[in-house]
């Protein structure tokens, strides 16, 4: 495992796309945690005026961990594209083939990429943790030690979310062996196809079936934190917003996301073990 | 000891039967050339024994043990289309191979010097010429001083000087007792560096034997005398000639019946009153043998 991780480090660190996407990811995350707390969405409820988003509270302990996990998860697409680049390159550069010839097993090829995914997710979690501690300590007034850590498991859940989504991207890269095609399929599936299928199946088969789809399950691991806006949306839920507000219990989403991650891994493994390189 | 044994290897790509029931043994110390025209199954065969192409049927084993990553680490292999990261420099590319093979990184300097790439060690792979890329692949093959080398068209894309260097390198390596499998369609290359040869055609193994044995297998004799008609009559009457063809203005190229020596024929011709003005043994070149084999199979 150590050997695989070292090999991956030699490959990945000087890679331009890794550096660019990593920087883009960090910039988008940092910008979002700087800009978002300044936004106010005021509305009149009864006689008083209420900030619907109440963003300052979302960036205070303990909710800050849920908020950061949500924001980081929104940028997971960069990480998924990075994984597609890393795995797709191995086919286009013929390096997977070279490494099998030199003495790596086909499982090692895949495990190296899975380790990279774990390492990226872990590094990401550390960045979020440090940013959260820093921001929370500076901008939260009157917090206890328990407030600081009580929502910390959100980061662990985010870790699973990032890993599962990147495993989906890895499976696509191994299956399609073409970076551009894999990125297009990932985006089309995540943004257009799966939501459409969910909508159609909800209408004609079972209203809750959409909750079991992979992108939906993975994305619901780090939901938009509870606040006035969410309460209002839930109260006024209709057919369109139901897809946004409805969710399986957290434990079910965790199990399903883990299951999907494993499924993506085993599909990629089967493809890699069977195919000529 | 057999370094490589294959048993009934078979591989198809759709309707194309690339390799058919290939059984082959390569002994320790042999420099075995795998010869065949383009599309004969050479690269597919090497792909199967190196684990990159999955055989449909059959099996193979290295070092009389088995196959897999552990065996591959003891082999240095260069296949068509070198696999390196274009954005990494030569040292980093070779470091990856060192880690996989479990070889010390200090060996990188040795192989880069041996292949004349030490001065370019910090250049990105993408900036190398085709010939240099091929030499880097050779450097990767030589990492860790493996017992066995598998080389697929190693001189492809090299300039004449590069070809000569690689041949010299292969010959030098072979002299150290290493076993080499060399796939090529350049017959001259195989004849110069190989001790044994396996000839493939459309996925079938036509023949496998020592290069020397193959070129000696069909030795002919060039004969000439002052009178061609008298010579022909004497040859016909000798009962020692398997086949005969006109050669030059006054002679014949003949193939002797198995077991008959040229000296015996000469003695008989003298007895018949024929004085030869030319008696020359002619070994068939590998190229002639190859073309004949490929043509008749």
Name the band, by pLDDT with cuts 50, 70 and 90, for residue B123. very high
Identify from A101, A111, A270 which residue to disrupt to test chain B contact, counting B C-beta atoms within 10 A and taking the largest count.
Answer: A101
- pLDDT category at B5 given cuts 50, 70, 90 is very high
Of B17-21, B163-167, B223-227, B293-297, the poorest mean pLDDT is in B293-297
Query: Which chain B residues touch A16 with a CB distance below 8 Å?
Result: 87
Q: Per residue in A66-104, pLDDT tens? A: 999 998 898 889 899 999 999 999 999 999 999 999 999
Domain count, chain A: 1
Longest CA–CA span in chain B (Å) reads 78
Report, as an integer, the average pLDDT of B271-295: 81
pLDDT at B176: 86
Of A211 and B48, the structure prediction assigns the larger pLDDT to B48
Tell me what pLDDT residue A34 has. Answer: 82
Give the per-residue pLDDT at A35. Answer: 84
Q: Which of B101, B99, B119 is nearest to B109 (CA)?
A: B119
State the pTM of this model.
0.82
pLDDT of A236 > 90? The answer is no
Closest partner CB to A93 (pick from B50, B86, B95): B86
Tokens at B104, concatenated: 């010390």
> A262: which residues sit within 8 A by CB, 6+ positions away?
none
Summarize pLDDT for B214-262 with one digit per residue, the tens: 666 667 889 999 888 899 999 999 999 988 889 888 889 898 888 888 8
Give the contacts of B238 (CB within 8 A, at least 6 positions apart): B265, B268, B269, B272
Lowest mean pLDDT, pick from B28-42, B86-100, B209-223 = B209-223
* pLDDT beyond 60 at A45: no
CA-nearest of A116, A107, A129, A115 to A82 is A116
Give me A190's structure tokens. Answer: 């995540």
Task: Give the residue with greater pLDDT, B29 vs B170.
Answer: B29
Question: For residue B85, which of B123, B138, B114 has the smallest C-alpha distance?
Answer: B123
pLDDT of residue A60: 85
Confidence grade of residue A244 (pLDDT, cut at 50, 70, 90)? low
Which residues are bridge partners to B276 per DSSP? B225
Query: For the residues B77-106, what does the mean pLDDT come to?
Result: 94
Indicate the average pLDDT of chain B.
89
Q: Domain B218-283, CATH 3.30.70.980 — does that match?
A: yes
Give the pLDDT mean for B191-210. Answer: 86
Q: Which residue ranges make up each domain of chain B? A: 2-215, 218-283
CATH architecture of B2-215: 3-Layer(aba) Sandwich (3.40)
Quote the CA–CA distance of B40 and B18 in Å, as a whole number: 7
Q: Which residue of A lies nearest to B55 if distances are taken between CA atoms? A: A276
Interface of B with A (CB under 8 A): 47, 50-54, 68-70, 72-73, 77, 79, 81-88, 92, 95-97, 99-101, 140
B164 compared with A97, residue with greater pLDDT? A97
Reply yes or no on whether the pLDDT at B23 is more than 80: yes
CA distance A270 to chain B (A): 13
Candidates A95, A104, A276; nearest CB to B84: A95
Question: Does position B120 have pLDDT exceeding 80, yes or no?
Answer: yes
Q: Is A65 helix (H, G, I), strand (E, B) or coil?
A: helix
Written as six digits, the tokens of B91 are: 């040292």
DSSP, collapsed to helix, strand or coil, labels residue A52 as coil
In the structure, what pLDDT confidence band is assigned to residue A275 with cuts at 50, 70 and 90? very high
Q: Measured between alpha carbons, how far is B238 from B250 in angstroms, rounded to an integer?
A: 19
Residue appearing with tokens 């680490």? B73
What is the mean predicted confidence (pLDDT) over A232-244?
62
The answer to whether B53 contacts A274, with C-beta atoms less than 8 Å apart, is no
- Residue A25's pLDDT is 84
The C-alpha atoms of residue A144 and residue A136 are separated, in whole angstroms, by 12
Look-up: residue for tokens 């060690």? B121
Lowest mean pLDDT among A80-94, A222-236, B142-156, B160-174: A222-236
What's residue A44's pLDDT?
A: 56
- Kindly state the average pLDDT of the residues B107-135: 93
Question: Which tokens sit at B252?
Answer: 């014949």
Task: State the average pLDDT over residues B255-284.
Answer: 88
Determine the structural domain holding residue A266 and report its residue range. 2-274
Find out whether the peptide bond into B130 is cis, omega within 30 degrees of 0: no
pLDDT of residue B217: 60
Q: What is the pLDDT of residue B69?
A: 95
Among B18, B63, B74, B83, most A C-beta atoms within 10 A, so best to mutate, is B83
Query: Are the beta carbons of B50 and A3 separated by less than 8 Å?
Result: no
Q: How far apart are CA B70 and CA B132, in angstroms?
A: 29
* Stretch among A138-147, B125-134, B144-153, B230-239 having the lowest mean pLDDT: A138-147
What's residue A142's pLDDT? 81
User: How many Cα atoms sit within 13 Å of A29 on the Cβ side?
Assistant: 27
Angle between helices A64-74 and A106-139 (to 10 degrees): 140
> In this complex, do A93 and B84 lie within 8 Å of one another by their Cβ atoms?
yes
**pLDDT given at position A39:** 74
Sign of CA pseudo-dihedral B104, B110, B112, B115:
negative
CB atoms within 10 A of CB A144: 10
Give every CB contact of residue A232 below 8 A, 6+ residues apart in sequence.
A52
Q: Tell me what ipTM this predicted complex has.
A: 0.85
In this complex, is the C-beta atom of A127 within 8 Å of any C-beta atom belonging to chain B? no
- Parallel, antiparallel, or unpaired for β A48-51 and A42-45? antiparallel
Q: Which of B184, B161, B159, B169 lies closest to B139 in space, CA to CA?
A: B169
Residues B100, A104: C-beta atoms closer than 8 Å: yes
Query: Which of A183-192, A228-237, B154-163 shows the lowest per-residue confidence on average (mean pLDDT)?
Result: A228-237
Confidence label for B175 from pLDDT (cuts 50, 70 and 90): confident
């Amino acid at each position: 495992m150590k050997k695989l991780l070292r090999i991956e480090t030699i490959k990945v660190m000087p890679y331009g796309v890794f550096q660019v996407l990593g920087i883009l990811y960090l910039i988008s995350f940092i910008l979002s945690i700087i800009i978002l707390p300044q936004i106010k969405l005021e509305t009149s409820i009864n006689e008083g005026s209420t900030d619907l988003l109440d963003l300052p509270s979302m960036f205070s302990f303990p909710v800050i961990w849920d908020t950061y996990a949500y924001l980081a998860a929104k940028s997971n697409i960069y990480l998924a594209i990075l994984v597609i680049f890393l795995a797709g390159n191995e086919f286009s550069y013929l390096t997977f083939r070279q490494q099998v010839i030199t003495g790596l097993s086909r499982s090692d090829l895949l495990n190296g990429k899975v380790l990279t995914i774990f390492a990226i997710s872990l590094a990401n979690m550390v960045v979020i943790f440090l940013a959260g501690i820093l921001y929370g300590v500076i901008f939260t007034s009157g917090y206890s030690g328990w407030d600081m850590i009580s929502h910390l498991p959100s980061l662990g859940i985010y870790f699973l979310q990032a890993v599962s989504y990147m495993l989906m991207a890895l499976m696509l890269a191994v299956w399609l062996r073409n970076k551009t095609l894999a990125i297009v399929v990932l985006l089309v599936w995540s943004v257009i196809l799966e939501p459409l299928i969910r909508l159609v199946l909800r209408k004609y088969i079972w209203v809750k079936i959409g909750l079991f789809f992979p992108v939906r399950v993975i994305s619901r691991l780090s939901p938009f934190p509870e606040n006035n806006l969410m309460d209002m949306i839930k109260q006024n839920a209709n057919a369109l917003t139901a897809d946004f507000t409805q969710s399986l219990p957290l434990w079910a989403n965790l199990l399903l996301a883990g299951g999907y991650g494993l499924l993506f891994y085993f599909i990629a493994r089967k493809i890699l073990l069977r195919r000529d390189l | 000891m057999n370094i490589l044994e294959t048993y009934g290897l078979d591989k198809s790509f759709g309707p194309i039967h690339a390799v058919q029931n290939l059984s082959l043994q390569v002994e320790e110390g042999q420099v075995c050339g795998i010869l065949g025209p383009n599309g004969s199954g050479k690269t597919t065969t090497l792909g199967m024994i190196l684990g990159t192409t999955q055989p449909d049927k059959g099996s193979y084993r290295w070092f009389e043990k088995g196959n897999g990553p552990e065996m591959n680490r003891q082999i240095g292999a260069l296949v068509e289309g070198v696999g390196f990261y274009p954005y990494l420099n030569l040292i980093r590319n070779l470091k990856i191979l060192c880690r996989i093979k479990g070889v010390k990184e200090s060996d990188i300097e040795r192989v880069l010097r041996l292949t004349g790439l030490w001065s370019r060690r910090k250049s990105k792979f993408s900036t190398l010429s085709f010939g240099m890329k091929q030499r880097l692949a050779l450097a990767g093959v030589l990492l860790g001083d493996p017992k066995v080398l598998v080389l697929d068209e190693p001189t492809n894309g090299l300039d004449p000087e590069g070809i000569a260097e690689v041949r010299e390198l292969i010959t030098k390596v072979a002299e150290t007792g290493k076993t080499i499998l060399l796939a090529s369609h350049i017959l001259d290359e195989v004849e110069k560096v190989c001790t044994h040869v396996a000839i493939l055609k459309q996925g079938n193994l036509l023949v496998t034997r020592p290069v020397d044995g193959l070129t000696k297998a069909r030795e002919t004799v060039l004969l000439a005398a002052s009178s061609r008609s008298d010579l022909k009559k004497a040859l016909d009457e000798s009962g020692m000639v398997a086949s005969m063809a006109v050669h030059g203005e006054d002679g014949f190229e003949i193939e002797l019946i198995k077991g008959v020596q040229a000296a015996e024929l000469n003695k008989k011709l003298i007895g018949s009153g024929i004085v030869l003005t030319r008696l020359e043994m002619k070994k068939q070149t590998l190229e002639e043998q190859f073309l004949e084999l490929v043509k008749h199979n």
